[in-house]
Amino acid sequence: MQNNEKSEASLITLFCCPYYGIPLSPDENARVSQFLLANKLDKRKLDKNLLTQLSEANSNSEEQWNKVWNRIKNPTTTGKVPGKVIRMPAIRRLIGAAVIVVAAGIIAYKYIIPTFTNKPGGQNTITSIDIQPGGPKATLLLTDNSSIDLYRRAVGNIANEDGTKISKPDSTQIVYEATAGKIVQKAGTNILNTPRAGIFKVTLPDKTVMYLNAESSVVYPVAFTGPRREVTVSKGEVYFEIAKNSKPFIVRKGDQSIEVLGTKFNINTYNRNNQENIITTLLEGSIQLTKGHEHRILNPREQLIAVSNSENLEVRKDVNTEGVISWKNGYFDFKGARFQDILDELERWYNIKVDIDDISARKLEQSRVTLSKISRNLTLTTFLNILKEKVAFNYVILNTTTIVITK
């Protein structure tokens, strides 16, 4: 098929979409309008049933297909073929396939025609494309406000700031190393940001290690010069392995602070139900958490939940800490997790938007799901098909950024 025929096939697919409730973007609407004008079609007079007939004609002769197409272009005719038959042989099959999907009431992928495949549970799922998982991606903002894309940056030295060398030993991390014998009086600040579908590791000058999950941000000095070591979690989720040192290490998030000497813990600040709860989980050592006038000391396998705009602190014991940091170790681990929380996790890791299509599907949001040690390296389709074995749902991958959940 030539490029102009591919373009016309895409336009005809878009042309069909509005008549089956599939929204178009302003740019797509403009392209459809131009297409209708070029073909002298009045969208107000188009017959939805003729679109279905167009798909049925696809399996018959080309003459029959042209009859239906001419009835669409000439709504006053009663099935007789005008004297001049308009032929579009190269794109006929693609158009028919598109309308079959639309006429069946299934959301069509806008630019290529989806195929039906049988999935576990006997349910049909539409997949035209697949979406790859996240990986080591991050942006480093230096003291002078210059930005480095760490995904694209080659392995090796990155920068030297305030007597500290910053290097990238491999694709997954950066390392800060203090220059021997150099005393730093005042250090600048760096900011590490991970996007959706990103994860990254950073080792600070004191050998403290931080892992940033997708859509996270941490602010920290390039060297610890004062009596305390302080970093700030701006958003997202970060796992800390604090190097033992005579200086206390303080992690701040909003009005909450965590003070430690040497320990391992995870802090999760993702929004849930449009509310930001700060969830701190301790794996080793001991930490003191302060929020407003409230103070708590956590022991290993304890988790503290601090509700935003409140000084209420809830402590949970005997937490599955392995599951809490499973993201850092390369897998998903859900123990009785809400279906909606799993979808939120998928949105961040695969950089997608998940839409729940109907009321019956929305009832699934509160369903509890258990999935143990599922690799985060799976494609989205592979993971969703595993999830379907636990929850009865269907899905449609519309494009590289959107999927729709149906019941």
pLDDT tens-digit map of 351-380: 999 988 777 677 888 789 999 899 999 999
Those residues whose C-beta lies under 8 Å from the C-beta of residue 309, and which sit 6 or more positions away, are: none
Q: Which residue has the higher pLDDT, 295 or 328?
A: 328
In a domain, 127, yes or no: no
Question: Of 324, 340, 370, which one is at a domain's C-terminal end?
Answer: 324
The residue among 205, 211, 219 whose CA lies nearest residue 250 is: 219
Q: β-strand 139-141 against 147-149: which pairing, if any? A: antiparallel
Determine contact, residues 168/150, Cβ cutoff 8 Å. Answer: yes
Structural domain for 88, as ranges: 3-113
- pTM reported for the whole predicted model: 0.70
Quick one: tokens of 231? 């970093």
Q: Distance between CA 73 and CA 36 in Å, rounded?
A: 10
For residue 306, CA distances in Å to 42, 240, 275 come to 58, 18, 11
pLDDT tens-digit map of 196-244: 999 999 999 999 999 999 999 999 999 998 899 999 999 999 999 999 9
* 246 three-class SS: coil
The residue among 327, 360, 359 whose CA lies nearest residue 344 is: 327
Determine contact, residues 157/165, Cβ cutoff 8 Å. Answer: yes
The residue among 214, 175, 158, 165 whose CA lies nearest residue 351 is: 214
Give the relative orientation of helices 380-388 and 339-350 as an angle to the nearest 10 degrees.
170
- What is the per-residue pLDDT for 398? 82
In a domain, 129, yes or no: no
pLDDT tens-digit map of 300-331: 999 999 987 777 789 999 999 999 999 999 99
- What is the per-residue pLDDT for 118? 40
Please report which confidence band the pLDDT of residue 9 belongs to, taking 50, 70 and 90 as the band edges: very low
Question: Same domain, yes or no, for 55 and 85?
Answer: yes
Question: Same domain, yes or no, for 307 and 231?
Answer: yes
Those residues whose C-beta lies under 8 Å from the C-beta of residue 133, and which sit 6 or more positions away, are: 197, 349, 350, 376, 377, 378, 379, 380
Question: Same domain, yes or no, for 84 and 190?
Answer: no
- What is the per-residue pLDDT for 64? 62
In a domain, 118, yes or no: no
Q: Is 268 a residue whose pLDDT tops 50?
A: yes
What's the mean pLDDT when you consider all of the chain? 78
Question: Same domain, yes or no, for 270 and 371?
Answer: no
CA atoms within 13 A on the CB side of 210: 29
The residue among 208, 3, 224, 17 whose CA lies nearest residue 106 is: 17
Question: Same domain, yes or no, for 261 and 230?
Answer: yes
Question: Same domain, yes or no, for 248 and 380?
Answer: no
DSSP state, residue 5: H
